[in-house]
């Protein structure tokens, strides 16, 4: 069912692109109502327009807070054109229909990004705009609502095609988009208040998101996927893709895991990710050594993985990286020579992470109609809470090495075991239902790729050892320091095995499951 556009109300914070709309409205003799800056802009562009206050007979008040909130405006939007009773009421009041609303809101999100001035922020919470949008979207059967500049072209095409009218299908689609916008806008305001008041777990929660792009595919090629940004202070991820093919769901999953681990490094480091688990990680004052060590941890699993570095890639490092097939390389900038070298790898994706910042203090996991929310696991261990439970005491360097191993351990899917030497991983056992199986995998990896580094190595476990079998497996491989939460009813068996083998054991009292 087509609906003729006779009167339009335009109220815009962002006025870019409006001239094209005004031309087509003039073509079809559409009467235009507007207010404030939008009214001035329309007049400046040379188009006829009636001011809202003149249309309603009611002057703006409360410093502009009250403009469009008037019965003549909302009756014009909300009345059902086919309803005789509505028509009689409109005639009695001498109110006219308003058939098209073009609105975008006060820039609340942009305001909180630019200032901390509370009064200014509050004044940029739009009331009249969202109210008109909701009214028009509800009455989509008779009214067209445009809330996005990207849809100006669609509106122009629709009006030209239908000789000044819009189709029901078009109006319904725009209404759906409009309700999405009002929900998004209110969610940003709500989340800003929660952040200001440090409320992490409110009674009701809304999760907003703005679509960045559709992805190459989801976890598998037959699945579709898109990425959204959920950030009050940024409208971009801070990840600048320099070259390479479009990213997939799995690429982003690995990228985010790499970024989380990098954020925990206080020194120069590299981590290589495969299927959301690190295959290797290393911190070293030499960037190229940190890459080599992380790669050596498991060169087989590193194939096709994501490399994440917290340093700038130079020619020497690029030459080393180019010897291996990686899907993605993340770094804090790439110099010109490195780009020439890595640019020769056709499908390799290069991303500059120098402007990426972690913003969230919590994590969300969704399952069907429910989701879980928790604060982030930022803790590794509390040094004052450490208990040396073995007869032999670790050195300060061994404690630091154990801390490094435990830090990597908390990012690995549970059950997880990390074997490390000199602040680099040499064996990673991940995602096993049995802890002893994770120990076996970590040892097997180390024996296969870096057997010499098993001697005098450090092992970390994300949770306690329920039996001493896992501890014994690590000791037999050459591990000399074991760090774990402790808390098993059989802790004594593990301590006994450590003392018997002259191995040092540290209890942290802190579990690090990652599911």
For the purposes of burial, counting CB atoms within 10 Å of the CB of 60, is it exposed (0-12), middle (13-18) or buried (19 or more)? middle
C-alpha dihedral over 48, 52, 57, 61, to 10 degrees? -140
Q: What is the CA radius of gyration of the chain?
A: 30
Q: Pick from 108, 170, 91, 88: which is nearest to 137 by CA?
A: 170
Task: Examine the residue annotation and report whether 222 is marked as an active-site residue of this protein.
Answer: no
Rounded distance, CA 251 to CA 198, Å? 32
Rounded distance, CA 54 to CA 273, Å? 63
Catalytic residue among 86, 275, 312, 447: 275
Rounded distance, CA 40 to CA 20, Å? 16
Task: Examine the residue annotation and report whether 275 is marked as an active-site residue of this protein.
Answer: yes
Q: Pick from 327, 331, 321: which is nearest to 356 by CA?
A: 331
Strand order in the sheet with 31-34: 50-51, 31-34, 7-11, 100-103, 144-146
DSSP β-ladder status, 328-331 and 306-309: parallel
For the purposes of burial, counting CB atoms within 10 Å of the CB of 406, is it exposed (0-12), middle (13-18) or buried (19 or more)? buried
Question: Whose structure tokens read 């059989």?
Answer: 490
Chain-centre distance of CA 20, in angstroms? 35
Q: What are the two backbone dihedrals, phi and then psi, of residue 35, each rounded to the nearest 5 degrees?
A: -150, 165
Rounded distance, CA 35 to CA 59, Å? 11
For residue 415, cis peptide bond before it (omega within 30 degrees of 0): yes
The partner residues of 52 in beta bridges, in order of sequence, read none
Alpha helices in 299-351 (DSSP H): 299-302, 315-321, 336-342
Q: Could you tell me if 243 and 211 are in contact, meaning their C-beta atoms sit under 8 angstroms apart? A: no
* DSSP SS3 for 37: helix
Catalytic residue among 138, 149, 195, 289: 138
Rounded distance, CA 26 to CA 146, Å? 17
DSSP summary character for residue 384 = G
Helix (H) or strand (E) holding 419: strand 417-421
Rounded distance, CA 246 to CA 252, Å? 11
Where residue 316 falls (left for φ over 0; alpha for ψ -120 to 50; beta otherwise) is alpha
Rounded distance, CA 221 to CA 248, Å? 9
E strands of 174-214, at which residues? Answer: 210-214
Longest Cα–Cα distance of the chain, Å, equals: 97
Helix (H) or strand (E) holding 228: strand 226-229
Residues annotated as catalytic (active site), given as ranges: 138, 275
């Amino acid at each position: 069912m087509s609906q003729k556009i006779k009167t339009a109300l335009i109220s815009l914070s962002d006025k870019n692109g409006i001239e094209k709309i005004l031309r087509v409205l003039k073509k079809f003799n559409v009467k235009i109502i507007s207010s404030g800056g939008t009214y001035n802009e329309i007049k400046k562009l040379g188009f006829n327009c009636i001011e809202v206050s003149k249309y309603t007979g009611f002057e703006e008040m409360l410093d502009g807070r009250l403009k469009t909130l008037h019965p003549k405006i909302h009756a014009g939007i909300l009345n059902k054109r086919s309803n005789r009773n509505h028509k009689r009421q409109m005639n009695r009041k001498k109110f006219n229909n308003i058939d098209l609303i073009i609105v975008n809101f006060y820039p609340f999100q942009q305001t909180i990004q630019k200032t901390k001035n509370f009064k200014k922020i509050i004044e940029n919470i739009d009331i009249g705009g969202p109210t008109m949008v909701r009214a028009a979207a509800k009455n989509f059967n008779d009214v067209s609502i445009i809330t996005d500049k990207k849809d100006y072209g669609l509106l122009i095409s629709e009006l030209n095609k239908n000789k000044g009218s819009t189709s029901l299908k078009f109006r319904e689609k725009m209404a759906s988009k409009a309700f999405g916008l009002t929900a998004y806008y209110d969610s940003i305001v709500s989340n800003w208040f929660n952040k200001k008041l440090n409320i992490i777990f409110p009674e009701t929660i809304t999760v907003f998101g703005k679509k960045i792009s559709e992805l190459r595919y989801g976890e598998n090629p037959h699945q579709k996927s898109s990425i959204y940004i959920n950030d009050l202070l940024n409208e971009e991820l801070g990840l600048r893709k320099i070259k390479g093919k479009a990213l997939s769901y799995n690429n982003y999953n690995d990228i985010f895991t790499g970024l989380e681990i990098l954020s925990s490094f206080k020194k120069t480091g590299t981590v290589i990710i495969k299927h959301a688990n690190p295959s290797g990680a290393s911190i070293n004052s030499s960037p190229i050594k940190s890459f080599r060590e992380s790669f050596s941890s498991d060169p087989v699993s590193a194939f096709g993985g994501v490399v994440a570095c917290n340093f700038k890639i130079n020619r020497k490092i690029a030459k080393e990286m180019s010897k291996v097939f990686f899907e993605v390389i993340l770094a804090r900038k790439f110099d010109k020579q490195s780009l020439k070298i890595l640019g020769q790898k056709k499908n390799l994706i290069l991303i500059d992470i120098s402007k990426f910042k972690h913003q969230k203090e919590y994590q969300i996991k969704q399952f069907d109609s429910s989701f879980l929310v928790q604060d982030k696991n930022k803790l590794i261990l509390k040094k004052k809470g450490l208990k040396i439970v073995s007869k032999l005491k670790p050195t300060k360097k061994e404690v630091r090495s154990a801390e490094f191993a435990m830090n990597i351990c908390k990012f690995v899917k549970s059950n997880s075991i990390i074997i490390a030497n000199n602040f680099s991983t040499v064996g990673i056992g991940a995602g096993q239902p049995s802890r002893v199986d994770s120990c076996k995998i970590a040892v097997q990896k180390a024996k296969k790729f870096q057997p010499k580094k098993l001697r005098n190595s450090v092992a970390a476990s994300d949770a306690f050892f329920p039996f001493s079998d896992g501890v014994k497996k690590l000791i037999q491989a050459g591990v000399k320091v074991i760090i774990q939460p402790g808390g098993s009813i059989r802790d004594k068996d593990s301590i006994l095995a450590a003392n018997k083998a002259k191995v040092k054991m540290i209890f942290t009292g802190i579990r690090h499951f990652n599911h």
